[in-house]
Each structure stands twice: as C-alpha cells, then as structure tokens.
C-alpha cells in the first residue's frame, strides 16, 4: 500500500492486513527491480505464468502454428517503414546506441514488438502463394518505455507470445484473427476462470498499423475492465510497406494479408485482480502452482496420533504424486492457523487438514479457498476424489466471475443513462453505438475515466439509436473503466 502520510502500519492497525497481503505477494509473485519500471518475477509467480503459457502454447500448436525466435535488436531503418506503426511505437522504444564503448552507426531498437523484423526477414523468404500461409509464434520478452508502470499490468519489460501470420486472402487472415482471439478466450475462460467480453476495438484503440483489432476484456473484482489479449488484422499495410510480395495463383504479384496477436504476463495481473480477495490470491486450480496444500496437525502430548498423521500424510503424498500438484506443509514450530493463512494468501485452491482428531474416525477436512466451503471426507480414497474437487473449485471460481459480470452489466440507451449507471460503482455498460470518433469523445466526456472497450462481437444494435448522437447504430459498445 502506498505509505507515507498514513499512520504507521503495525500489526494492530487496520491497514496491516492490506499491507501484509501486498508485501507477501510482492515477495512471492513479482516486484520492481532497481531499474524503475522493470519487473522481476519470482518463482511462484513464474510458475503461474509457466502453466498459463503452456496451456496457450498447446492451443497455438494445435491450430497449426510453430514456434521460432527473432532477434531482440531491430535496426532503426527497419523499424521505420510502416508510418503509422512507427509513429505509434516511437514514444516507447528503448534504443541501443553503443556496442561496448563504440558508438553505433545506426541505433538499434530493443523490440517493442516484432512485426518489423519479421517482415524484413520474410520479404526474402516468401516467393509463391504456395509458401502461404505462414503460421509462426514467438515467446519472448519485449520492452516498452512506459511513463507509468503497474506491476504485471504495465511494466517496461514484459514477457509474452506474439503470433505472426501471412495469408493469401483477406478473408483467410480474418479467420485467423478470430481463431486466435478464440484461443485467448478459451484460455481466459476455461483455464483462468475469468468472465470476458470479446469484440472489436474502436479506431482510437486499434493497434498502430492494423486494419482492425479485436480483444477480450475481462472483468476485475472491482468492476474495472482489463484488456487481456489482442488479435490484429494487419491487412496489407505491412506487406506493402516492407515490399513483401508472392506470385499468386493467377501469376501476378500479390501482397500477402497479415495478422498478429499477442498475450502477455499482464494476464497474470488479470488473474490476481479478477479472483483475489482480502485474504490474498484465489488461483484457478488448472494453473495453480500448488493445487492442494496438506496441513498436518499433531500434538506433542499425543505421539500415537502423531504417528498416524505422519503415515496418512505420506500415503496421500505418494498416492497423488502423478495426478495432483500437492504439497505438505511440514514446517515445524508454526501453528496451523498461520499455515492456513499462509497458503490462503498464495491462493492454493484446496486445503486438506490432516489432524489426529479427524483421523481417529478415518477422516480429513477439506477446505476450498474460493468460498471457504468445508467438508469432512474419508481419508480412504481421497486421492481419487481430489481431481474432482479441483474441478469443482475451478467451476466455482468461474461461476463467481460470470456472476460478477452479470451483476455489473447494465443496458444503457443514452448518455444520461450512462451517467446513472456509473453513479455508484464501476459497471460494464452496453449501449448502441455508431462508432464515430466524435461520439466516442462524447462518451468519454460523459463519465469520468470511462472508455469504449470494444464493439461486442456477440451483439448487434440493429439500428437502435446511438447513445451519443441518436443516429441509427450498428454496434453494441461495451463501455467501462479500465486498467
């Protein structure tokens, strides 16, 4: 929490829990480095990213893409060819000016994204329509010199995947754009248990150099939106600028149609803020680094019960070795309550409390992180039930997120209605929208800090009057405050 001018934070003060949660999560997930704005990701945070990354990587490969790697440095002359693109990224490019002590003749950009270098290389690699489609993906880090940073959401260096494809036709590229947004949606919904809205970006939020951009917008627990994955149709903007041409089926030279799509470590910030509560993280079991934490409880005056607990712990550990990411908290000298709090803070989906009292009847207590639901189950056969319990926890988290989205959604028909909708709390407002820049400005001016997040893919206005100008509108806009 942001300190100063507030009173000292002590264990007795009201702010202690908030401070403690934040301090511990920074110690466990990620923190800023001494270089302002850069992020260091700690093992627990990185494990969460790895599981997320692996899930997405599987989908990317399943849709026919291959991974490869492009260079970190991009010569200035290559970066500068697509006018709108370079204009959009120029303010946030980091430059390398020296190699060792020698000043370089041409500065090198640290990649903020790789369209330019990829286009440069593929110019020579593409000859014929038979070389298409090109379906490639890169996992890497990129740098954008941000003025203001927020951990995970906007850091100067971040990790992501960027997919890049070239296609014979505009329509085929358009299908690709939708297909990959669909992967992001599946990742968000099925793996990360987040409720999202998919749609097309307005002109002002379109990727620099793209024909159009589609995104998924996730809802955070405070009602704010977070753009969590984007997919761009680049048309022939780059292939023209970079002079990429193939001989077509009709024996004429054609510029291929291109797409790019990316999803970054920002998604980890989304998971934290979508599901977390006052006691810390709530992680979806499918990506949680630790899915089940076992807390053994023994008494020093009950060696017999202690031995039984030890045996039970070893049994469950062995029985789940290949099926569940289960860990036992064997730390000595720490009381159970502290262990509960410790793992709740880290978002572990299930806690198995294994104490002599329950065990005397052959039982254990299982507690679910997301809602505290508690049940007493027989130790016997527990290993077989855990996967199902994890699935239930996953579904519960997802349902809670969907319920929040439904609860915070509003239907709005004019600017007054928009103001009323935002009067008490941040909401996801849906309204007919003509998609003209001047109307977007009116929307932004009507309510502090709101933006048109996207034009919903799943709904049409069918001529209903635009909320800002009253003209017949095509789109339903999602209007929200965003991170």
Partner RNA sequence: CGGGGCGUGGCGCAGCCGGUAGCGCGCUAGCUUUGGGAGCUAGAGGUCCCCAGUUCGAGUCUGGGCGCCCCGACCA
Segment interacting with RNA (CB under 7 A) among 15-23, 50-58, 189-197, 233-241: 15-23
**Residue 472 beta carbon to RNA: minimum distance, rounded to whole angstroms:** 29
Cα 447 to the center of its chain, rounded Å? 27
**Residue 193 beta carbon to RNA: minimum distance, rounded to whole angstroms:** 19
Distance set, CA 32 to CA 27, 157, 158, 221 (Å): 10, 11, 12, 24
Cα gap 475→443, rounded to integer Å: 14
Do residues 192 and 216 lie in contact, with contact meaning Cβ atoms separated by under 8 Å?
A: no
Compare residues 117 and 359 and give the one whose CB is closer to RNA. Answer: 359
Compare residues 108 and 295 and give the one whose CB is closer to RNA. Answer: 295
Compare residues 9 and 319 and give the one whose CB is closer to RNA. Answer: 9
**Terminal Cα-to-Cα distance of the chain (whole angstroms):** 17
Among 102, 130, 304, 337, binds RNA (CB under 7 A): 337
The answer to whether 382 contacts RNA (rule: CB under 7 A) is no
In the beta sheet, which residues pair with residue 472?
Answer: 465
Compare residues 19 and 129 and give the one whose CB is closer to RNA. Answer: 19
The answer to whether 14 contacts RNA (rule: CB under 7 A) is no
DSSP string, 85-98: HHHHHGGG-EEEEE
Spatial CB neighbours of 307, under 8 Å, sequence gap ≥ 6: none
In the beta sheet, which residues pair with residue 134?
Answer: 166
Burial of 163 by CB count in 10 Å (0-12 exposed, 13-18 middle, 19+ buried)?
buried
Cα gap 311→98, rounded to integer Å: 62
Cα gap 335→481, rounded to integer Å: 42
Closest to 133 (Cα-Cα) out of 141, 142, 122: 122
How large is the C-alpha radius of gyration of the chain?
A: 26
**Residue 87 beta carbon to RNA: minimum distance, rounded to whole angstroms:** 10
Among 102, 124, 251, 372, binds RNA (CB under 7 A): 372
Residue 209 has which token pair?
């150099």
Do residues 396 and 370 lie in contact, with contact meaning Cβ atoms separated by under 8 Å?
A: yes
**Which three-class secondary structure state does DSSP give residue 459?**
strand
The answer to whether 341 contacts RNA (rule: CB under 7 A) is yes
Spatial CB neighbours of 467, under 8 Å, sequence gap ≥ 6: 412, 413, 414, 415, 417, 418, 431, 432, 433, 439, 443, 473, 477
Compare residues 345 and 464 and give the one whose CB is closer to RNA. Answer: 345
Do residues 226 and 272 lie in contact, with contact meaning Cβ atoms separated by under 8 Å?
A: no
**Which three-class secondary structure state does DSSP give residue 256?**
coil
| Chain position carrying tokens 């987040």 | 194
Among 171, 334, 403, 406, binds RNA (CB under 7 A): 334
Query: One symbol per residue from 38 to 77: x for binding RNA (CB under 7 A), - otherwise; what is it?
Result: ----------------------------------------
- Give the pairing of strands 102-110 and 73-75: antiparallel
Cα 454 to the center of its chain, rounded Å? 17
- Give the pairing of strands 94-99 and 374-378: unpaired
Segment interacting with RNA (CB under 7 A) among 42-50, 336-344, 396-404, 405-413: 336-344
Do residues 473 and 446 lie in contact, with contact meaning Cβ atoms separated by under 8 Å?
A: no
**Residue 402 beta carbon to RNA: minimum distance, rounded to whole angstroms:** 22
Residue 82 has which token pair?
């697509």
Segment interacting with RNA (CB under 7 A) among 149-157, 282-290, 386-394, 462-470: 149-157
Cα 413 to the center of its chain, rounded Å? 31
Please report, as residue ranges, which positions from 299 to 318 form the binding site for RNA (by CB under 7 A): 299-301
Please report, as residue ranges, which positions from 408 to 447 form the binding site for RNA (by CB under 7 A): none
The answer to whether 396 contacts RNA (rule: CB under 7 A) is no
Please report, as residue ranges, which positions from 19 to 38 form the binding site for RNA (by CB under 7 A): 19-21, 23, 32, 36-37
Geometric angle at alpha carbon 386, from 380 and 392, rounded to 5°: 135
Number of residues that bind RNA (CB under 7 A): 68
Please report, as residue ranges, which positions from 241 to 270 form the binding site for RNA (by CB under 7 A): 262, 264-266
Among 291, 298, 394, 401, binds RNA (CB under 7 A): 298
**Residue 148 beta carbon to RNA: minimum distance, rounded to whole angstroms:** 4
Compare residues 42 and 279 and give the one whose CB is closer to RNA. Answer: 279
Among 84, 172, 190, 205, binds RNA (CB under 7 A): 205
Please report, as residue ranges, which positions from 150 to 179 form the binding site for RNA (by CB under 7 A): 153-156, 158
**Residue 252 beta carbon to RNA: minimum distance, rounded to whole angstroms:** 34
The answer to whether 359 contacts RNA (rule: CB under 7 A) is yes
Query: One symbol per residue from 185 to 204: x for binding RNA (CB under 7 A), - otherwise; what is it?
Result: --------------------
Query: One symbol per residue from 216 to 235: x for binding RNA (CB under 7 A), - otherwise; what is it?
Result: -----------xx-x-----
Segment interacting with RNA (CB under 7 A) among 49-57, 64-72, 320-328, 357-365: 357-365
Among 344, 350, 426, 446, binds RNA (CB under 7 A): 344
**Which residues form the interface with RNA (CB under 7 A)?**
2-6, 8-11, 17, 19-21, 23, 32, 36-37, 88, 91-92, 144, 146-148, 153-156, 158, 205, 207-208, 215, 227-228, 230, 262, 264-266, 279, 297-301, 332-338, 340-342, 344-345, 353, 355-359, 365, 367, 372, 449
């Amino acid at each position: 929490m942001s300190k100063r001018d507030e009173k000292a934070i002590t264990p007795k003060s009201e702010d202690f829990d908030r401070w403690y949660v934040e301090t511990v999560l920074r110690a466990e997930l990620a923190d800023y480095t001494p270089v302002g704005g850069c992020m260091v990701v700690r093992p627990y945070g990185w494990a969460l990213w790895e599981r997320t990354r692996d899930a997405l990587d599987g989908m990317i490969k399943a849709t026919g893409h291959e991974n490869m790697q492009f260079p970190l440095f991009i010569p200035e002359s290559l970066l500068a060819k697509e006018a709108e693109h370079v204009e959009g990224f120029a303010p946030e490019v980091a430059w390398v000016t020296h190699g060792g002590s020698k000043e370089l003749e041409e500065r090198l950009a640290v990649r903020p994204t790789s369209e330019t270098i990829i286009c440069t290389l593929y110019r020579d690699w593409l000859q014929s329509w038979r070389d298409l489609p090109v379906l490639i993906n890169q996992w890497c880090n990129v740098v954008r010199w941000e003025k203001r940073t927020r951990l995970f959401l906007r850091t100067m260096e971040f990790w992501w995947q960027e997919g890049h494809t070239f296609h014979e036709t505009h329509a085929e590229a358009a299908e690709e754009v939708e297909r990959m947004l669909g992967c992001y949606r599946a990742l968000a919904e099925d793996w990360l248990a987040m409720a999202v809205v998919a749609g097309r970006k307005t002109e002002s939020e379109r990727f620099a150099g793209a024909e159009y951009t589609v995104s998924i917008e996730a809802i955070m627990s405070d009602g704010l939106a977070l753009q969590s994955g984007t997919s761009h149709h680049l048309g022939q903007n780059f292939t023209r600028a970079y002079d990429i041409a193939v001989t077509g089926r009709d024996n004429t030279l054609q510029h291929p149609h291109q797409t790019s799509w990316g999803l970054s470590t920002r998604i980890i910030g989304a998971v934290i803020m979508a599901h977390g509560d006052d006691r810390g993280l709530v992680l979806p079991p499918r990506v949680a680094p630790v899915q089940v934490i076992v807390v053994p409880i023994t008494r020093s005056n009950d060696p017999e019960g202690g031995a039984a607990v030890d045996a039970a712990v070893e049994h469950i550990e062995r029985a789940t070795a290949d099926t569940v990411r289960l860990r036992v908290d064997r730390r000595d000298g720490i009381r159970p309550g502290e262990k509960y709090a410790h793992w709740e803070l880290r978002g572990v989906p299930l806690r198995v409390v294994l104490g002599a009292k329950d065990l005397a009847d052959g039982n254990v207590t299982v507690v679910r992180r997301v809602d505290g639901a508690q049940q007493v189950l027989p130790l016997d056969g527990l290993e077989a039930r855990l996967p199902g319990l994890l699935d239930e926890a996953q579904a519960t988290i997802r349902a809670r997120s969907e319920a929040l989205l439904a609860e915070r959604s509003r239907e709005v028909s004019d600017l007054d209605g928009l103001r009323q909708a935002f009067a008490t709390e941040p909401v996801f407002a849906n309204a007919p929208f003509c998609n003209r820049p001047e109307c977007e400005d009116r929307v932004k001016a009507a309510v502090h800090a709101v933006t048109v997040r996207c034009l919903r893919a799943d709904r049409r206005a069918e001529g209903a009057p635009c909320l800002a100008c009253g003209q017949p509108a095509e789109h339903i806009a999602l209007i929200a405050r965003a991170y």
